[in-house]
Amino acid sequence: MNNFKKIGLTALAGSLVAVSANAVELSVSGETTVSYVTNTTKGSTHGGQTIGTSTGITFSGSGELENGWTISSSNILNDGDANALSSSQLNMTMGSMGTVTFAKLAGTNVNAIDDVTPKVAEEAWDGAAGSVLQGIGGSTNSGAVAYKSPSYDLMGLGVSFGVDYDPAAGATGSDHDAVATKTATQGSGMGAVIKVTHDSGLTLGYGQEEVSSNSGNDAEATNQTAYALYTMGPVSLGYQGYFLDTGVAPKAGDTGGTADYSGDAVGIAFNVNDQISVGYQKVSEDKEDIGGVVGANREIKSLAAAYSSGGMTVSIQQTDTDNSTMTSTASDEVNVEAVQVTLSFAF
Mean pLDDT of the 157-164 span: 98
**The domain containing residue 204 runs over which residues?**
5-33+56-272
Decide if 17 is inside a domain: yes
* 328 occurs within a structural domain: no
Residue 22 has pLDDT above 50, yes or no: yes
For residue 237, give Cα distances in angstroms to 118, 139, 201, 229, 241.
Answer: 6, 28, 10, 6, 14
For 108, the 3-state DSSP assignment is: coil
Q: How far is CA 105 from CA 78, 87, 143, 179, 267, in A?
A: 13, 5, 7, 15, 27
Q: What is the mean pLDDT of residues 8-13?
A: 36
- pLDDT for 68-95, tens place per residue? 999 999 999 988 665 677 889 999 999 9
Q: Is the pLDDT of residue 18 over 80?
A: no
Encode pLDDT of 99-114 as tens digits.
999 999 999 999 999 8
Lowest mean pLDDT among 153-167, 169-183, 261-275: 169-183
Per-residue model confidence (pLDDT) at position 1 = 43
Q: Which residue has the higher pLDDT, 76 or 19?
A: 76
Residue 188 confidence (pLDDT) above 50: yes
**Of residues 42 and 166, which shows the higher confidence score?**
166
Report the share of the chain in percent with pLDDT over 70: 86
Of 221, 163, 164, 162, nearest to 187 by C-alpha is 221
Residue 291 belongs to some domain of the structure:
no
pLDDT of residue 249: 59
Confidence at 5, pLDDT banded by 50, 70, 90: very low
**Parallel, antiparallel, or unpaired: how do β-strands 335-346 and 312-322 relate?**
antiparallel
Position 16 scores a pLDDT of 42
In a domain, 331, yes or no: no
Report whether pLDDT(258) > 70. Answer: yes
Number of compact structural domains in the chain: 1
pLDDT of residue 9: 37
295 domain-assigned? no
**Which of 277, 281, 227, 204 minimizes the C-alpha distance to 116?**
227
The predicted structure's pLDDT at residue 217: 66
pLDDT digits (tens, 9 = 90+) for 299-326: 999 999 999 999 999 999 999 999 888 8
Over the stretch 194-239, which tens digit does the pLDDT of each residue have?
A: 999 999 999 999 999 999 887 766 678 899 999 999 999 999 999 9
Confidence band of 256 (pLDDT split at 50, 70, 90): low
Please, are residues 71 and 63 in contact by the beta-carbon 8 Å criterion?
A: yes
For residue 64, the domain's CATH number is 2.40.160.10
The pLDDT score that the predictor gives to residue 80 is: 66
Task: Choose from 45-49, 181-185, 253-257, 298-302 the range with maximum mean pLDDT.
Answer: 298-302
Is 292 a domain residue? Answer: no
pLDDT of residue 7: 37
Prediction pTM value: 0.84
How many contiguous H segments (helices) and E segments (strands) does the chain have? 1, 18
Cβ of 13: how many Cβ atoms within 10 Å? Answer: 10
Listed residue (88, 95, 106) closest to 142, CA to CA: 106
In terms of Cα–Cα distance, which of 342, 325, 263, 268 is closest to 302? 268
Does residue 50 sit within a domain? no
- State the Cα–Cα distance between residues 77 and 117, nearest whole angstrom: 26
**Mean of per-residue pLDDT scores for the chain:** 85
Inside any domain, residue 326: no
Residue-wise DSSP of 159-206: EEEEEEEESSTTSPPPPTTS-PPPPSSEEEEEEEEEEEE-TTSEEEEE
State the sign of the Cα–Cα–Cα–Cα dihedral 313, 316, 322, 324: positive
**pLDDT at residue number 47:** 63
Q: What is the pLDDT of residues 53-67, one digit of tens each?
A: 989 999 999 999 989
